[in-house]
């Protein structure tokens, strides 16, 4: 189930973003918790960060960013991750199903996301959940520790 992230969730969110198995696929380069805290608090202020729980423990996260004006029917899905301790339990699918349910509840008509072209596991999950590839974003994200630009796949699902 999804719930809005709170300032008190900082340690969980930080650990997930900075986990070595998760971080290469997400937006932020490795940093200290002190450097990450203002970034996280901005996500809280913008009301876009959510925690995914299995009902007992926090297991993952996602950002849900609504577009505006003529694109106000679109919800961007980003920063999605399941903690590696919970991998293999179907939580990625459950999280995506919760995202779709929330988008429908909030009357969005389109979900968008981008995913690093080499992240086959995530691409497979998104396709299983009804997302289709719409194009390639060349040199879209930059991995500073590898000094390398990564292509991303733009994917979307119409509701």
Mean pLDDT for 16-34 is: 93
The stretch 29-52 carries a mean pLDDT of 97
> What is the 3 state secondary structure string of the chain?
CEEECCHHHHHHHHHHHHCCCCHHHCCCCCCCHHHHHHHHHHHHHCCCEEEEECCCCEEEEEEEEECCHHHCCEEEEEEEEECHHHCCCCHHHHHHHHHHHHHHHCCCCEEEEEEECCCHHHHHHHHHCCCEEEEEEEEEEEECCCCEEEEEEEEEEEC
pLDDT, position 146:
85
Interval 108-116 mean pLDDT: 97
- The string of pLDDT tens digits covering residues 98-107 is 999 999 999 9
Read off the pTM. 0.93
Taking alpha carbons only, the member of 76, 156, 84 closest to residue 121 is: 84
In the chain, the percentage of residues whose pLDDT exceeds 90 is 91
pLDDT of 27 reads 87
Instruction: Judge whether residue 143 has pLDDT over 90.
Output: no
Q: For the domain bounded by 2-112, which CATH number is listed?
A: 3.40.630.30
Do residues 116 and 96 touch, judged by C-beta distance below 8 A?
no
pLDDT at 144: 83
Examine the pLDDT at 156 and tell me if it is beyond 90: yes
Higher pLDDT pick, 148 / 109:
109
pLDDT confidence tier of residue 145, bands split at 50, 70 and 90: confident
Average pLDDT over residues 10-30: 93
Q: What is the mean pLDDT of residues 124-139?
A: 97
Percent of the chain past pLDDT 70, that is, above it, reads: 100
């Amino acid at each position: 189930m999804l719930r809005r992230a709170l300032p008190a969730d900082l340690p969980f969110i930080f650990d997930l973003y900075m986990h070595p198995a998760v971080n290469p696929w997400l937006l932020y380069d490795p940093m200290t918790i002190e450097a990450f805290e203002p970034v996280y608090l901005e996500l809280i202020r913008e009301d876009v960060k959510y925690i995914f729980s299995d009902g007992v423990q926090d297991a993952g996260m996602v950002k849900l960013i609504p577009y505006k004006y003529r694109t106000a029917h679109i919800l961007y899905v980003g920063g999605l991750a399941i903690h590696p301790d919970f991998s293999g339990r179907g939580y990625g699918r459950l999280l995506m199903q919760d995202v779709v349910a929330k988008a429908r509840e909030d009357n969005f008509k389109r979900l968008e996301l981008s995913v690093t072209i080499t992240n086959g596991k995530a691409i497979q999950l998104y396709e299983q959940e009804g997302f289709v590839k719409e194009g390639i974003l060349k040199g879209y994200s930059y991995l500073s520790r590898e000094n390398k630009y990564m292509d991303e796949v733009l994917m979307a699902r119409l509701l």
